[in-house]
Amino acid sequence: MAIFDILIAPDPGLRAVAAPVAGVDDEVRRIVADMFETMYDARGIGLAATQVAIERRIVVIDLQDRDTEDEEHPEPVRDPHIFLNPALTWISDETSTYNEGCLSIPEHYAEVERPARCRVTWRDLDWVEHDEAFDRLMATCIQHEIDHLNGVLFTDHISRLKRDMIMKKLVKARKAS
């Protein structure tokens, strides 16, 4: 497995709209495995293929129950989810707010309001179609990652002032490194 480089905002690749996956082959399986490796290495809970410069509709998520970490179990309990061609088919009127972060916007967080529940269709690595409703953190995370596939960042959901402050800091950090 390999660890991909994660694109950092304001990289224009993060605004790319991903193309659908036509089917599962060895390349798609390798991409998914490498995306998980990359996400775990970066200590993230979700990653969209566009974040690693792959313009395909692939998302990996693992909310990783960190509450189980202790001396006997130093690693979080993993519960990986693979979404090929995920699509929101319903969102609730009720909203929830999470302090969101992003591997492509490192060390910056903001309160983002999104639908509290959503329904998503997708295919898995066996090309089986799924249709499921999500709530709480999983609903926020899948909406965040689907946004990435559509060239949208979580900063697009916050005030222009906050967004501009974050982007200026990212540009300054990029120039310094």
Average pLDDT over residues 95-119: 95
Phi first, then psi: give them for residue 130, nearest 5 degrees.
-125, 155
Q: Which residues are catalytic?
A: 145
- pLDDT band of residue 73 (cuts 50, 70, 90) is low
Is the pLDDT at 103 greater than 60, yes or no? yes
What is the tens place of the pLDDT at every residue in 2-61? 999 999 999 999 999 999 999 999 999 999 999 999 999 999 999 999 999 999 999 999
What is the tens place of the pLDDT at every residue in 134-166? 999 999 999 999 999 999 999 999 999 999 999
- What is the domain class of 12-176 according to CATH? alpha beta
